[in-house]
Copies of this chain bind each other. A is one copy, B any other.
């Protein structure tokens, strides 16, 4: 059994630095790479920095590439939490959030609008090489719980590594300032999809 450890937050500052990561648009089930964009936001407010990496479509390198991007960044020392848009990037390049926490020593919170369906993921993984390896990571991710980030809006679905559910909930509520999605993930999505849309026009 692995020992469960996590960072405890005595106090959550309103300017806590969050890194939100999203992927750009890519053509599914092709060979190639997709851009991942990381955005550093201070709390739910302003943009502090940006970083980028590339991962293989349906590959196995997302955890390693994200950890490397973060540790190579000048913002590494300031970042307190990593937020992911679910655990699958660039198709089914799955992030092992426990390993990402171990590699960066930063707690990881995944946020999705839809409840992730383990059964749907398992079916999709069956068509890919290294099924067993991928499925093991998915199963190891831990339970999903709901957080209502804003009053009167739909709750989001959350998974965590390296942080308690209660601290994650507090951080999500504090940083979801413009929508029910935390600002770092909202901005990462705008930048990643905006850059992709203009790519073909160059």
Give me the interface of A with B, judged by CB distance under 8 Å: 46-54, 69, 72, 178, 183, 187, 190-191, 194-195, 198-199, 201-202
Contact B194 A52, beta carbon cutoff 8 Å: yes
Asked if A53 and B198 sit within 8 Å, CB to CB, the answer is yes
A41's closest neighbor in chain B, by CB? B47
A48 contacts across to B, CB distance below 8 A = 190
Cα separation A48 to B190 with both chains bound (whole Å): 7
* A14: min CB distance to chain B, Å: 15
Q: List 25 A-B contacts (CB under 8 A).
A: A46-B178, A46-B183, A47-B47, A47-B187, A47-B190, A47-B191, A48-B190, A49-B190, A49-B194, A50-B190, A50-B191, A50-B194, A50-B195, A51-B194, A51-B198, A52-B194, A52-B195, A52-B198, A53-B198, A53-B201, A53-B202, A54-B202, A69-B198, A72-B201, A191-B191
Bound-state CA distance A190–B74 (Å) is 13
5 extra A-B contacts, CB within 8 A, seeds A50-B191, A53-B202: A46-B178, A49-B194, A50-B194, A53-B198, A69-B198
The CA-CA distance from A195 to B194 in the complex, in Å, is 13
Chain B residues whose CB sits within 8 angstroms of the CB of A183 once the complex forms: 46
Instruction: Write the chain B residue with the least CB distance to A183.
Output: B46
Q: A197: nearest residue on chain B (CB-CB)?
A: B51
Name the B residues within 8 Å of A50 (CB-CB).
190-191, 194-195
User: In the complex, how many angstroms separate the beta carbon of A40 from the nearest chain B beta carbon?
Assistant: 9
A152: shortest Cβ distance to chain B, in Å?
Answer: 20
- In the complex, chain B residues whose CB is within 8 Å of the CB of A199: 52
* Bound Cα distance A201, B198 (Å): 22
Residues on the B chain within 8 Å of A194, using CB: 49-52
In whole Å, how far is A73's beta carbon from the nearest beta carbon of chain B? Answer: 9
Of chain B, the residue at the smallest CB distance from A37 is: B195
Give the distance in Å from the alpha carbon of A53 to the alpha carbon of B48 in the complex.
23
The distance from the CB of A200 to the nearest CB of chain B, in whole angstroms, is: 11
- Cα–Cα, bound, A117→B24 (Å): 40
